[in-house]
Amino acid sequence: MPKMIHSKYGYEPPEYVKADAEIEKWLKGRKKLQAIVYTKPGCMKCRQTVRQLSKAMHTKDVTATADDINALKAGGVQSMPAVYIFEGSKPIDYWSDLRVDKIKQYTEG
């Protein structure tokens, strides 16, 4: 008989306790802030935005292809970087260009 571990649900096999911990970790991670930043090669404003946002949240730096840039322009982006902020999978904020005020909102808040 496997050794039982006392958890908040009573005595359970170790694999149940491990599975519960993994599920709780996953659920907490779904609510975390994350950013997708579309950048252009050699763009100082892009690098600075990614560097600063990375201090506060998981930040994915995506080098924009020509198709990405055309799509972003069609969506109203006039200057790079284009930043999308998500809480879990829900989009909560968007901006383009170097916006120190927006970055501070997330890094100092």
Sign of CA dihedral 104, 63, 77, 33: negative
pLDDT tens digits in sequence order for the chain, 109 residues long: 568 888 777 888 888 888 888 877 766 665 689 999 999 999 999 999 999 999 999 999 999 999 999 999 999 999 999 999 999 888 999 999 999 999 999 998 6
Sign of CA dihedral 82, 99, 89, 39: positive
The structural domains of the chain, ordered by start, are 33-107 (3.40.30.10)
Residue type present at position 16: Y
Residues 98, 25: Cα–Cα separation, whole Å: 33
Burial of 38 (0-12, 13-18, 19+ CB in 10 A): buried
